[in-house]
A and B are shown apart, each in its own frame.
Chain A
Amino acid sequence: MPRVLLIEDDEAVREGLSLALTYQGHTVDAVRTGEEGLDLLGSVTPDVVVLDLMLPGVDGFEVCRRIRASGDLPIIMLTARNDDIDVVAGLEAGADDYVAKPAQARVLEARIRAVLRRSSAPVTEVVAERHGDLTIDRDGLVVTRFGKPVSLAPTELRLLLELSSSPGRVMSRQQLLGSVWDQGYLGDSRLVDACVQRLRSKIEDDAAAPVYVQTVRGFGYRFGPL
């Protein structure tokens, strides 16, 4: 079962979530502050980080940015207030998904499963696809640009794989929320918008004039046409 790093300052919430996740079969490392969490990352390798945004000292956004800078560890943030500004800022800082407190353990569990899910797109081609300057290896889950690997967070990679699986086809945000974030029911479309922004900043020459991930006003997004 996956190993979870839980960073939450409130003791009761930390204990409750640890209990619930452990009950589900996860190995949980629970810490109180962002500093402790970042320290622990040096010694243990969790599969996913569950991160409260309101932390004493180094806040959740900063922790998020540091984790993102050093790798593609999936991050789920806990928003204490379901505050829109927090949600948007957290997603911009690189979080893959968020859960608003109070949340039942099964909701958090579902989000953890979703970010850890490997791409469900059927893998048929063995050779890497070439799209302009991008090379997408669906088997090895490696994306290169001008021959150099691009470091993508799990949701960014899955979003790119999903869109590029049928170039030119328009997908609505709700469709993408279903296929990439595993949100069977109405999801937060800001997850898609924030992820598209982060993806563009990594693979486009000019994020303001995107070539690969294009916006189709009134409908959603599509890959290309190049």
Chain B
Amino acid sequence: MTLRLRLLLAFTLLTIVTAAAVAGAGYVRARDAIVQRAQDNAVIETTNRVEQLYPLPARAVDAATLERIAARTSGREGSARAYGNGLSAGGMDPSVITAELRSLVSSGRVGWQRVSYAGAVWLVVGMQVRVTSGGPSGIEVYVLRPFTSEIEFVDELARNAWLIGGAVLVLALGLGFLAARGVLRPVRELQLAAWKLGQGELSARVPVRGRDELASVASTFNSTATALEHHVGELRRMESDARRFVADVSHELRTPLAAMTAVTDVLDAETASLPGVAGQAARLVNRETLNLTRLVNDLIEVTRFDSGTAALALDDVDVADVVRTCLRMRGFSEVSASLPDGVRARLDPRRLDVIVANLVGNALRHGSPPVSLVLSVSESSLVIEVADSGPGLSDEVLPHVFARFYKADSARGRSEGSGLGLAIAWENARLHGGTLVAANRPGGGALFTLRLPLGGEA
């Protein structure tokens, strides 16, 4: 249940209870007072009429007398019936007189009762008529009087009570809504700012209003965000400094290397004529110059991925062609490749070449033969799986296999590669919007799975 709903429900309940208490109690008191007064008036009036009959003739009661008594007590709007000597007379329907009322009246008291009759509410008042001497005459008179106007008045009261209650409820809901908004707006602002912060928008802040608890939460949030922004900024600056340093070093190394690399071919051709040790030394310099060049080229490639300046040179290619050429040119003849024809994709063939060369080269160096490569298509992606039959990747190695300069065996020295091959392969896959995943095959051996979108027209 949301905070808003809870607040609104609380307001509603409070309003209903208060309105019911105030309006309900007022209504009940007013209704009782009105009904009581009306009944009292009716009884007094009826009693007065009956008293006007006195003195009654002391002879035996007959039907004509009863008729006369009824007629004189009925009044203008009502009707009456008189009982006596086993007879009854009058215009009033006897069925409205309940047994309860009759027994009350016959015990000598004045009785009254509200009844429903002919679609309206009436009041029946009954009493005994006394002879002059004070003893009972044996005559009972019942008068039926309309009670509708009083009931209507009470109904109106009830209607008004409901109406006022409803209006107050609406007003209370409105107030509740406003109060909820007042409380919830800062909460929502906090939520939005926290979300932005999570999305990396570290400049997100919330306005601080007033001096309440919410304001203190908001100002704590702001100071936390400021601290976070500062720390992250510091880290980013340090990281970008480090990266720029690597990039600068690589570029600085590249120029002297360019001069050295240019003459390696000259040296190569001349080493044969150099005497023994000098020839060996020249060959060593040559070989290591080329290794250093490869390392620096890889470093520069990595810095270009980091700085986002690496770009795709897209071409429409037959994937099997590219992979086949890659394997042939690198002399990877011992790889058993399954390369179905007709897999066309829009990608950077030279980057695909780098990925495949690194994966296969890695499998041949660190795994055991046979190494297999399988090309397939699945869900508008091309899938290349490179598997070896070695011991596979241990649990410690697996998470770091694409890390830069990560060496599975720390005791081993410099390998043939630069230590950046798999990292570069992974970055190349990402640059294409694809993935490169390392895993172990159930039967043993490492399995690298490359997925690249086919691109072009889908």
Q: Residues on A close to B: CB < 8 A?
A: 10, 12-13, 15-17, 19-20, 23, 80-85, 101-106, 108, 172-174, 185-190, 217-220
Q: Is the CB of B311 within 8 A of A103?
A: no
Q: Is the CB of A12 within 8 A of B256?
A: yes
Q: Is the CB of A13 within 8 A of B259?
A: yes
Task: For the complex, give the distance between the alpha carbons of A91 and B350 in Å.
Answer: 18
Using an 8 Å CB-CB cutoff, how does the interface string of B228-266 with A read, 1 for contact, 0 for none? 000000000000000000000001001111111111111
Given contacts A83-B309, A188-B350, A189-B313, whether A217 and B262 have CB atoms under 8 Å apart is no
Q: Is the CB of A188 within 8 A of B264?
A: no
Task: For the complex, give the distance between the alpha carbons of A33 and B301 in Å.
Answer: 28
Q: Is the CB of A19 within 8 A of B263?
A: yes
**Which residue of chain B lies nearest to A78 when distances are taken between CB atoms in the complex?**
B258
On chain A, the residues within 8 Å of B257 by CB distance are 102
Task: For the complex, give the distance between the alpha carbons of A12 and B325 in Å.
Answer: 36
Residue of A16, A190, A220 touching B316 (CB-CB under 8 A):
A220
Residue of B300, B321, B322 touching A82 (CB-CB under 8 A):
B300
Q: Is the CB of B313 within 8 A of A19?
A: no
Q: Is the CB of A218 within 8 A of B344?
A: yes
**Which residue of chain A lies nearest to B346 when distances are taken between CB atoms in the complex?**
A218
Task: For the complex, give the distance between the alpha carbons of A129 and B249 in Å.
Answer: 55
Q: Is the CB of B344 within 8 A of A190?
A: no
B110 contacts the other chain (CB 8 A): no
Using an 8 Å CB-CB cutoff, how does the interface string of B9-23 with A read, 1 for contact, 0 for none? 000000000000000
B67 contacts the other chain (CB 8 A): no
Name the prevailing secondary structure of the B interface residues: helix
Q: Is the CB of B293 within 8 A of A19?
A: no
Given contacts A80-B254, A217-B457, whether A16 and B311 have CB atoms under 8 Å apart is no
Given contacts A81-B251, A174-B315, whether A10 and B258 have CB atoms under 8 Å apart is yes
Q: Is the CB of A81 within 8 A of B316?
A: no
Given contacts A13-B258, A102-B262, A105-B263, whether A185 and B329 have CB atoms under 8 Å apart is yes
B353 contacts the other chain (CB 8 A): yes
Task: For the complex, give the distance between the alpha carbons of A15 and B258 in Å.
Answer: 11
For window 319-346 of chain B, which residues contact chain A by CB distance below 8 Å?
Answer: 321-322, 325-326, 329, 344, 346
19 contacts between A and B (CB under 8 A): A10-B259, A12-B255, A16-B258, A16-B261, A17-B259, A20-B266, A84-B311, A84-B313, A101-B258, A102-B261, A104-B290, A105-B262, A172-B316, A174-B315, A174-B317, A185-B325, A187-B350, A189-B349, A218-B344
Q: A102-B257, A187-B350, A188-B350 are in contact. List 19 more A-B contacts (CB 8 A).
A: A13-B262, A16-B263, A19-B266, A20-B262, A20-B263, A102-B262, A102-B296, A102-B297, A103-B262, A104-B261, A104-B262, A104-B264, A105-B263, A108-B262, A172-B317, A173-B316, A174-B349, A218-B316, A219-B316
On chain A, the residues within 8 Å of B313 by CB distance are 84, 188-190
On chain B, the residues within 8 Å of A108 by CB distance are 262
Task: For the complex, give the distance between the alpha carbons of A163 and B127 in Å.
Answer: 129
Task: For the complex, give the distance between the alpha carbons of A20 and B290 in Å.
Answer: 16
- Separation in Å of the A134 CB from the closest CB of chain B? 26
On chain A, the residues within 8 Å of B256 by CB distance are 12
On chain B, the residues within 8 Å of A85 by CB distance are 309, 311
On chain B, the residues within 8 Å of A174 by CB distance are 315, 317, 321, 349
- Separation in Å of the A36 CB from the closest CB of chain B? 20
Q: What are the nearest 8 A-B pairs in CB distance?
A: A16-B262, A12-B259, A189-B315, A102-B261, A16-B259, A102-B258, A101-B258, A84-B311
Task: For the complex, give the distance between the alpha carbons of A180 and B310 in Å.
Answer: 26
For window 344-389 of chain B, which residues contact chain A by CB distance below 8 Å?
Answer: 344, 346, 349-350, 353
**Which residue of chain A lies nearest to B255 when distances are taken between CB atoms in the complex?**
A10
Task: For the complex, give the distance between the alpha carbons of A80 and B314 in Å.
Answer: 22
On chain A, the residues within 8 Å of B265 by CB distance are 20, 23, 104-106
Task: For the complex, give the distance between the alpha carbons of A186 and B257 in Å.
Answer: 24
- Separation in Å of the A13 CB from the closest CB of chain B? 5
Task: For the complex, give the distance between the alpha carbons of A102 and B297 in Å.
Answer: 8
- Separation in Å of the B139 CB from the closest CB of chain A? 118
Q: Is the CB of B254 within 8 A of A101?
A: yes
- Separation in Å of the A213 CB from the closest CB of chain B? 16
Residue of A13, A15, A16, A218 touching B456 (CB-CB under 8 A):
A218
On chain A, the residues within 8 Å of B346 by CB distance are 218
- Separation in Å of the B256 CB from the closest CB of chain A? 6
Using an 8 Å CB-CB cutoff, how does the interface string of B62-83 with A read, 1 for contact, 0 for none? 0000000000000000000000
**Which residue of chain A lies nearest to B260 when distances are taken between CB atoms in the complex?**
A16
Q: Is the CB of A102 within 8 A of B349?
A: no
Task: For the complex, give the distance between the alpha carbons of A20 and B258 in Å.
Answer: 12
- Separation in Å of the A183 CB from the closest CB of chain B? 11
On chain A, the residues within 8 Å of B269 by CB distance are 23
On chain A, the residues within 8 Å of B311 by CB distance are 84-85
Q: Is the CB of B349 within 8 A of A186?
A: yes
On chain A, the residues within 8 Å of B456 by CB distance are 217-218
On chain B, the residues within 8 Å of A105 by CB distance are 262-266
- Separation in Å of the B311 CB from the closest CB of chain A? 4
Task: For the complex, give the distance between the alpha carbons of A22 and B265 in Å.
Answer: 12
Task: For the complex, give the distance between the alpha carbons of A177 and B441 in Å.
Answer: 39
**Which residue of chain A lies nearest to B310 when distances are taken between CB atoms in the complex?**
A84
**Which residue of chain B lies nearest to A103 when distances are taken between CB atoms in the complex?**
B261
Q: Is the CB of A84 within 8 A of B309?
A: yes
Task: For the complex, give the distance between the alpha carbons of A102 and B456 in Å.
Answer: 34
Q: Is the CB of B260 within 8 A of A102?
A: yes
**Which residue of chain B lies nearest to A191 when distances are taken between CB atoms in the complex?**
B313
Q: Is the CB of A13 within 8 A of B255?
A: yes
On chain A, the residues within 8 Å of B457 by CB distance are 217-218
**Which residue of chain A lies nearest to B247 when distances are taken between CB atoms in the complex?**
A81
**Which residue of chain B lies nearest to A24 when distances are taken between CB atoms in the complex?**
B265
Task: For the complex, give the distance between the alpha carbons of A213 and B150 in Å.
Answer: 103
- Separation in Å of the A139 CB from the closest CB of chain B? 33
Using an 8 Å CB-CB cutoff, how does the interface string of B198-222 with A read, 1 for contact, 0 for none? 0000000000000000000000000
- Separation in Å of the B317 CB from the closest CB of chain A? 7
**Which residue of chain A lies nearest to B349 when distances are taken between CB atoms in the complex?**
A186
Interface centre among A19, A105, A172 (most CB of B within 10 A): A105
Task: For the complex, give the distance between the alpha carbons of A91 and B234 in Å.
Answer: 40
